[in-house]
Structure formats: C-alpha cells, structure tokens
Structure 1
Amino acid sequence: MSTTAIDFSVDSTLSKHSSREALDRYYVELMKENASVNLVSRETSRDDFNRLCAESLLPLETLPERIGNYLDIGAGGGIPAVPLMQSGRISGKCVLVERTRKKAASLQRIVNAIQLPGETVNRTFEELSLRDRFDLITLRYVKLDRTLLGKIIPLLSANGRFVYYSNTEIRSEKLNSELYGFADPVEGILKHFTVFRTK
C-alpha cells in the first residue's frame, strides 16, 4: 500500500483541533492520576504530552467534519480518546474500553473532572456486546490482528472510520484502507496511522 504524506506540526495541529485551556485541564488531571496509577510514562514531559495529543488529533485531517458515536479500544490514560473528545468534532456517545480496573477508574475520574461525556467500560473488548454502531473507532496501544479487526468491522456505521495509530499489513474485503505517514518533529522518524472505512 502506498503512503500518503501528511504535514505535521505539534503547535499547528493543537491550535487547529484543540485549545490550550482544554489541554491544560487534561494534563493536570492526567498527572494527578499518574502519581498513583501508571497511565503514561513517569518521564512524560509537557512537550511529550503535547506531542501525544497532537498525534492523536492528526487523523481528524482525514475524517468527516461531524462524528457521531465514538469507541476507543485500550483507552489507558485517555490517549487518543480525550484529545479527540475535546476537539468538538464528536457529538454522539463516547465509549472508552479499558480492561485494567485501576486504569479504567482513573480514566473515568479524569473524564469526569474535565467534564467530558465519555463512559469508561472496565472490560476487555472481546467481552463486550455492543449494540451501538460507531462513526469512529480508534486503536493505539493494542496490536491489531485479524481476529480483532473482525470484531471491529460489525461495529462500524455505514460511513464509519476505524483509525489504527500504526502501519499494518492486515486488510479486509469489507473495508477500504489508506496509510498516512508523517515525520516526528523531535525524533525525525516517520510515523504512520491507517484509516479503514466501510465500503
């Protein structure tokens, strides 16, 4: 699959899709919870945090302007879910799946503290029986395999998008896919995300 290059700047991505105030609130609550639960590396600086949030928001450049229901799998400390919810682009139900009990509880406290509508579900994705269909599904910290993709496909709405924050050789006859590449401004390495959409 060919790669579509996409421009990436931390500052411009954050200013376009978020606000300093929203990010400040998230950062404060994340660091508070991270003192007792390992949500992100203890070495995470504010610059690291900003870069993670910007990378989370970058796929919005490729997605429809309005997004209804949203599902994040392996939500951890809220990357990419919280920045995406703060963007104002998501108007429907937000479901954040995190299998580790302490992480799920911490994330729900973060979401509540910054007054976002997300519901954190403390289960493995495979255990869930979801009736809703989702315009956007994201996966960042869980490795994608064919079995997992097979469980994701039925949950996508008619115009749904599934964003996998990496490169993958896995494909499906039921989905179109496009690979995007961008340069990490600090490390100078090429990073990728893959957007699957229903045919």
Structure 2
Amino acid sequence: MADSDAIAPYAAHFTRPLADVAKDLESYAQLLRRWQAVQNLVSRETLNDVWSRHFADSLQVLKLLKAGDRAFLDLGSGGGLPALPLAVALKSPNHHFTLIEPNGRKVSFLRTVARELGLVVAVEGLRSDQVDSRETPVPDVITSRALAGLPTLCGWMQPFFGPETRAILHKGREHVEELAEAVPHWDFNVVVTKSDTDAEGVLLTLTDLRAKTVS
C-alpha cells in the first residue's frame, strides 16, 4: 500500500502532484516484489520497508538538484534505485534518464517498469566501461547507490563528466575512508550532505572530477 507520508518531505521538488507520484511508486513497488522472487533486486530484509528504505532514500537526491538539471545518468542501476524513483518524481518530457546495468534480468525489469509507468528512461544493458561516452548525452547529474568504492566509481564516472556535471552518490559510514583512498588518484571538489534516511549515511556531491596526472 502506498505510503505518501514517507515521500511527502520531498513533494515540493516533484513535477506533479504527490498523489500521482505515490500511485506510480506503488506500481513500482508491486513490480519489485513480483520480480524479487526470481531476481534479487533489493535486500530481502528491506523489501517490506521499501517506501522509507528505498523510495525516500532515493528521493532525497531531489534536494540537491538544480533547476536546469535535465539529463541524468545512473550507474549500476540494479533494481532501479535511485534513478527510477527520481524519474517518477520528475516525470516529464524534459527530464531524461539513462540507466546502465549489465545484468540481463535486471535490464528486463528496469525496462518493464519504465514501459508500464511511461517514464522517459533508456536502459543500457552494458557495463559502464562498455558504453561509449562520446555517444551518450553529457549528463547534468550522475547517480549511483551501493555500487562500488569511490576510487573505482570515479574511474567509471569520469569519461561521462562534462564541465558542469555533478555526481550525487549515496555512501555509508565508510565515506571518509573512501574519500581518503580516492584523493591520491583523483582531483575533485566534494560536498558532504547527511542522509535523511540513514544515520550513518551521506550523499557525496562531486564536481570537477579528473584523474591526477602522474609526475
């Protein structure tokens, strides 16, 4: 059953009424539960708490977006988090999401959700290093949740970065260590925002990402 209260704090950032977003997210939740039986899309322990653990957690990214953000790229999309809740909340012809996910069954799931909810979403059934960044629109925002450590993630994201691109990444309590591990190899500016849904979690906003030159 839809839990509008869990996502209400972010309703001011939606492009349409809260009730419409909640209806689409409930359809998404039903598909998630149905497909979970044959493909591990989210942790089984969190499946009954999908509205706060997954939907609200994804939608908190909205607070960090700019008015002109239109093109989104999500790496390692898995079950579609955070990209699909964001696509539902920002559902309009002006916002476009590209999801990169190499697992074939998860690709089928993502495409099913996008089709049934009428989302402006393209799903690439490849690893990020198999996607030609020259043929991909430069994203305003890159997202990723529970994919890889920051040093590795920087390597996957960097080919897609444009001058104005920002990466907004969900990270847990190890974020301080991950930042320290990334600094010797990567230059970037970072803003750390405390998570609304995880007492030990943060959102890292990275800009100006570039590999350090080897002297």
Tell me how far apart the structure 2 counterparts of residues 75 and 115 of structure 1 sit (CA, whole Å).
18
Taking the TM superposition and a 5 Å limit, the aligned residue runs for 1:1-199 are 10-16=6-12, 17=14, 19-88=21-90, 91-131=94-134, 132-166=137-171, 167=175, 168-169=178-179, 170-171=182-183, 172-173=186-187, 175-182=188-195, 184=197, 189-198=199-208
AA at the equivalent of 2:8:
S
Q: Deviations over 1:105-144 (max 9, x none)?
A: 1111111111112111111111111222110111112113
Query: What SS does the corresponding residue of 2:41 show, helix, strand or coil?
Result: coil
RMSD between superposed Cα atoms in Å: 2.4
The TM-score with structure 1 as length reference comes to: 0.81
Alignment length, in residue pairs? 187
Deviation at 1:182, TM superposition (A): 3.1
Paired residues of 2:107 and 2:123 also in contact (CA < 8 A) = yes
Paired residues of 1:10 and 1:51 also in contact (CA < 8 A) = no
Quick one: structure 1 residues 54 and 40, their matched pair in 2 at CA, closer, same or farther if it must change by over 3 Å?
same
The TM-score with structure 2 as length reference comes to: 0.76
Tell me how far apart the structure 2 counterparts of residues 44 and 58 of structure 1 sit (CA, whole Å).
18
**Relative to structure 2, which stretch is displaced further, 80-89 or 95-104?**
80-89
**Relative to structure 2, which stretch is displaced further, 48-57 or 102-111?**
48-57
Deviation at 1:47, TM superposition (A): 3.1
Structure with bigger RCO (C-alpha 8 Å, 6+ apart)? 1
Query: What SS does the corresponding residue of 2:115 show, helix, strand or coil?
Result: helix
Deviation at 1:79, TM superposition (A): 0.7
Tell me how far apart the structure 2 counterparts of residues 69 and 123 of structure 1 sit (CA, whole Å).
19
Matching residue of 1:5: none
Higher helix share: 2
Query: What SS does the corresponding residue of 2:166 show, helix, strand or coil?
Result: strand
Q: Deviations over 1:40-60 (max 9, x none)?
A: 233434433333111111122
Tell me how far apart the structure 2 counterparts of residues 144 and 84 of structure 1 sit (CA, whole Å).
23
AA at the equivalent of 2:41:
L
Unaligned runs of 5+ residues in structure 1 are 1-8
Tell me how far apart the structure 1 counterparts of residues 44 and 69 of structure 2 sit (CA, whole Å).
33
AA at the equivalent of 1:63:
L
Q: Deviations over 1:42-92 (max 9, x none)?
A: 343443333311111112212202312111011011110101111217734
Q: Deviations over 1:138-177 (max 9, x none)?
A: 111211343431342341233221011012313442x321
Identity of aligned residues (%): 24
**Relative to structure 2, which stretch is displaced further, 138-147 or 85-94?**
85-94
Matching residue of 2:213: none
